[in-house]
């Protein structure tokens, strides 16, 4: 069986490595982008099964990446879990308005994140 692909988008290298390691142990193929432009290009090219998306990114912020994918017929089916340090209610609302399936604030529990990912990928 082919591994499920997760696109992980964050500009914090250490965090990316930590999440990537944990998800690969769970058996996922993890693709990585460190900025919004690359994330958008990679999502369109690879068509991942799920995207973990930071909001504060260089070149294109997570809100724009999410909106561009969620309002595109070809990609709107991809679950997007926003992973962000932005904890205010207005940020959460904006995230949901742009089409995010989940809004998870940092710091987060890796086990809980993995459970949420499984929930979306085992539908």
Task: Determine phi and psi for 97, rounding to 5 degrees.
Answer: -65, -30
Q: What is the pLDDT of residue 86?
A: 81
Q: How far apart are CA 46 and CA 64, in angstroms?
A: 19
Q: What is the pLDDT of residue 103?
A: 93
The token pair at 17 is: 């490595």
Prediction pTM value: 0.95
Q: What is the pLDDT of residue 96?
A: 85
- The CATH number for 5-117, chosen from 3.90.1150.10, 3.40.1360.10, 3.40.50.2300, 3.90.25.10, is 3.40.50.2300
Which residues in the chain come in under a pLDDT of 50?
none
Name the residue ranges covered by the structural domains of the chain: 5-117
Q: How far apart are CA 49 and CA 84, in angstroms?
A: 20
What residues contact residue 49 under an 8 Å CB cut-off, 6+ apart?
A: 4, 5, 6, 78, 79, 121
Q: What is the pLDDT of residue 123?
A: 56
Q: What is the pLDDT of residue 95?
A: 82
Q: What is the pLDDT of residue 87?
A: 81
How would you class 105 by CB atoms within 10 Å of its CB: exposed for 0-12, middle for 13-18, buried for 19 or more?
A: middle
């Amino acid at each position: 069986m082919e591994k499920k692909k997760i696109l992980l988008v964050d500009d914090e290298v250490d965090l990316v490595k930590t999440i990537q390691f944990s998800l690969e142990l769970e058996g996922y193929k993890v693709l990585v982008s460190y900025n919004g432009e690359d994330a958008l290009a990679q999502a369109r090219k690879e068509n991942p099964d799920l995207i973990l998306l930071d909001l504060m990114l260089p070149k294109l912020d997570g809100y724009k990446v999410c909106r561009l994918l969620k309002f595109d017929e070809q990609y709107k089916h991809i679950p997007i879990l926003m992973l962000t340090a932005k904890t205010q209610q207005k940020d959460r609302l904006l995230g949901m308005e742009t089409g995010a399936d989940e809004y998870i604030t940092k710091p987060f529990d890796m086990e809980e994140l993995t459970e949420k990912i499984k929930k979306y990928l085992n539908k």
